[in-house]
Every structure is written in C-alpha cells, then in structure tokens.
C-alpha cells in the first residue's frame, strides 16, 4: 500500500509543474485574445448542460424503476437542476465582469 502511495505522490509531483505551465499558457492566451468572459461562460454553460442532462437521466430512470415515487423524485430533480443551472448564472456574472 505504501508503494502505491509513494508512486502516486511521485506522479503528482512530476505532473504539478506541467499542469501549472499549461495553466499559465492558457491564461496568457485568454488575456491576450480577450476570451476571458466568453470562455468562462462557454465552459460553465457546457457543464451546466451536462449536469442538467444527468439529473434528468437519473430522474427518468428512478421513475421508471419506481413510478409511485414520482412526486418525491420530481422535487429532488428540480432542486438538482436548479443547482446545476446556478453555476451557469455565476459564469454569466463573471463573463459580464470580463474575468
């Protein structure tokens, strides 16, 4: 077990500088081309769309397995979709601020 943890720690230590370099390059490209707000909104919108789709998929499967629990599942699904959509709204605010 300790061997696996040490191998994982070594892999993370080697990947961290590469990840930081990619992040720095991405930030440089985004600031030089004025894509900050658009990129933020696009990624968050895609994430929110995927999240809402997964919530709908789960709710549909749950109702298919237990039709009697439709009301409870609907309430939970609406709350889950609202939380996923909130991320897109936060991104919209950040996009208007130019971040």
**pLDDT recorded at residue 88:** 84
**pLDDT recorded at residue 34:** 60
Residue whose entry in the numeric block shows the structure tokens 């769309």: 49
Which parts of 33-69 fold into alpha helices (H)? 36-65
Nearest of 79, 87, 86 to residue 55 by alpha carbon? 79
User: Is the pLDDT at 37 greater than 70, yes or no?
Assistant: no
Q: Across the chain, what does the average pLDDT equal?
A: 78
Q: Can you give the pTM of this predicted structure?
A: 0.57
Angle at 79 between CA 73 and CA 84, to 5 degrees: 120
The two tokens of residue 22 are: 């990619």
The two tokens of residue 74 are: 């609907």
**pLDDT recorded at residue 78:** 93
pLDDT in tens, 16-34: 666 677 667 666 665 665 6
């Amino acid at each position: 077990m300790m061997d696996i943890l040490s191998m994982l720690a070594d892999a993370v230590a080697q990947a961290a500088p590469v990840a930081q370099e990619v992040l720095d390059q991405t930030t440089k490209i985004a600031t030089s081309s004025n894509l900050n707000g658009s990129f933020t909104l696009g990624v968050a919108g895609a994430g929110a769309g995927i999240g809402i789709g997964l919530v709908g998929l789960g709710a549909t499967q749950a109702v298919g397995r237990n039709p009697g629990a439709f009301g409870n599942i609907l309430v939970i699904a609406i709350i889950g979709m609202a939380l996923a959509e909130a991320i897109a709204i936060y991104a919209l605010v950040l996009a208007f601020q130019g971040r």
